[in-house]
Amino acid sequence: MDTEKTTHSFSQHEEGFHTADLAHLATQEDHEESKWQSIRNNPWAFAWCMFAVWVTLLVSYENQAAGTVLGIPQFRKDFGHYYEGNYVIDAKWQSAFSGAPTAFTAVGALCAGQIADWIGRKYTLTIMLALSYASITLEFVATTNQVFFGGKVLNGFVVGVLAAIATTYVGEITPLALRGLMTCLLALAYTVGPLVCSIILNSVGTATTRWAYRSIFCSQYGFLVVATIFVPFMPESPWWLLSRNKDDQAIRSLKKLGYNKEGEAEKRLAVIRITLTEIAKETEGVTYFECFRKSNLRRTIISIAPLSIQAISGVIFIAGYSTYYQQLAGYSTSESFKLFIALQIISMFGNVCSWDLVDRLGRRFLILWGVGLLTVLLLVVGGLASAGTTSSIKGAIALMILYGFIYNATIGSVAYNLLTEVATSRLRVKTISIGICCQSLWYTMWSFVLPYLFNPDHANLGAKVCFIQRYSA
């Protein structure tokens, strides 16, 4: 009997040493790879990361569409009322259209962690894509504020889940050498979506029929259909599978991700197994409360703080209200749409610059200097708007465009690096959910408040709201 116990114990130790050796070898190989070597060696993992980026693109397009329609005269005419020569949306409905969906985005982000841990990343994503068809259809067919509001609320919940799942999936399947690049690409998706939206807006936004804004919502089907085509073939996260003791399925998933060389999938599985085992020693459960335990609290704060900094740095005004502000300042509808395209192109260029800066200068450096520069810009924009002359308004608009570059080169990109890198692997999906939820709560606050501060039939502050957003940051 004692001999059997000794033999069993020796076998367990032998298996443990074998797993540790495999994990060490895989980790060493990861550290030795450059970005381009990693893409060549892991093309399928890179491809499925790009699929997650595409899902994020769907999220970013919807987020932008929510605010963009306010700059369309026909939308304001159909859903608003006449005021001093122009049609405006009631502040309460503006707040409802932007604030309530943002609040439900926070709810969706929180639910994402639990749902994804129950049924996996793939099935959660599949269900949310199905719900997205329903929400977009409601927005498209709406002729009343109430129906449009219903579509926006449902879509808010969906994009909250999609944003959390896409970011989690990238964090779990990205090779080590590509983590910085892929998280920057997630941030890039948040600039590409608005750019596509602005191009469509420039083409149809001046129409005098409902297609002036319905085209914006109809275009979302394009992003959605592409995601729907590929999601059935999406490999489930091997991290989730292994956490559910589905070792064989985890091996198959790793092979779908391109780890097909002899023993390669086993090495990757060993890395995941050891990581999960080590984390399990620190965290006995995987509830949200675990994210705030002493052993995890610092990681959680560092992970989620940059997203909240994003939300209080003035970006919601620049991204959502700049077109409307330009029209109120005297620019024509077509001119404001062209300036919006310029803002999105400059923003995208800033994101591309971050790909190199994030590794060259470091995450902390970019956050500190980025927030400092954005604070100065907001002060200057507010001051120029207060002057109210033609030249000062032009200067304020030019600085808004510059804001897009600095934001996306710094805090706009780096926040996603920290969100996926700092959180412990076992709590990653929940940490990301908390981060997106906190960010959404800030956005919800601004979404309800800004219409009353900005609208001409209320406080009529215009770009002077930058003073308020500067002190928040």
| Structure tokens that stand for 156 in this block | 């808010």
CA-to-CA separations, 455 to 79, 138, 348, 412, 452, in angstroms, rounded:
15, 26, 29, 27, 6
Read off the pLDDT of residues 232-260 as tens digits, 9 standing for 90 and up: 999 998 888 988 888 889 888 888 888 87
| Structure tokens that stand for 284 in this block | 């006995």
User: Domains of the chain, with CATH numbers?
Assistant: 43-258+283-472 (1.20.1250.20)
Cα 291 to Cα 204: distance, rounded to the nearest angstrom: 46
| Structure tokens that stand for 92 in this block | 């309460």
Q: Which residues of the chain have pLDDT under 70?
A: 1-34, 66-67, 279-286, 425, 455-473
Nearest to 447 by CA among 337, 347, 311: 311
Cα 110 to Cα 131: distance, rounded to the nearest angstrom: 17
pLDDT computed for residue 81 by the predictor:
81
pLDDT computed for residue 6 by the predictor:
41
- β-pair partners for 87: 82
DSSP state string for 118-139: HH-HHHHHHHHHHHHHHHHHHH
pLDDT computed for residue 107 by the predictor:
87
Type of residue found at 436: I
pLDDT computed for residue 355 by the predictor:
78
Q: What is the pTM of this model?
A: 0.72
pLDDT computed for residue 157 by the predictor:
92
Q: State the Rg of the chain over Cα.
A: 24
pLDDT computed for residue 233 by the predictor:
93
Nearest to 222 by CA among 189, 197, 190: 197
Burial class (CB in 10 A: 0-12, 13-18, 19+), 360: exposed
How many CA atoms does the CB half-sphere of 77 hold within 13 Å? 14
